[in-house]
Amino acid sequence: MKHKTSLYLVSSSLLMTSTLSSHGQTKCNKQPNIILFLVDDMGYKDLGCYGAKLYETPNIDQLCREGVKFT
């Protein structure tokens, strides 16, 4: 039940974000780039872009440098 609720909240917030961001813009054929990572037992301090020294996450760090970093 907990996993279904979490998945529902994540998908709902993604839908609302994409809907709100497209409001008021002209019609465009370009689709938004959204990457959703589903991981188990990973904290934000487990990623190199947030200061982790124990794990190396070069690909996620590159996405973080080139995109938006949520805190």
Residue 45 has a pLDDT of 83
Residue 19 has a pLDDT of 56
DSSP 3: H
Enter the tokens of residue 23. Answer: 């409001």
| C-alpha 71, offset from chain centre | 11
Of residues 47 and 32, the one with the higher pLDDT is 47
Q: What are the residue ranges spanned by the domains of the chain?
A: 2-66
DSSP 9: H
For the chain, the average pLDDT equals 75
Residue 9 has a pLDDT of 66
| C-alpha 8, offset from chain centre | 15
pTM over 0.95: no
How does DSSP assign 45-70, residue by residue?
GGSGGGT-SSS--HHHHHHHHHS---
Residue 32 pLDDT level (bands cut at 50, 70, 90): confident
Residue 8 has a pLDDT of 62
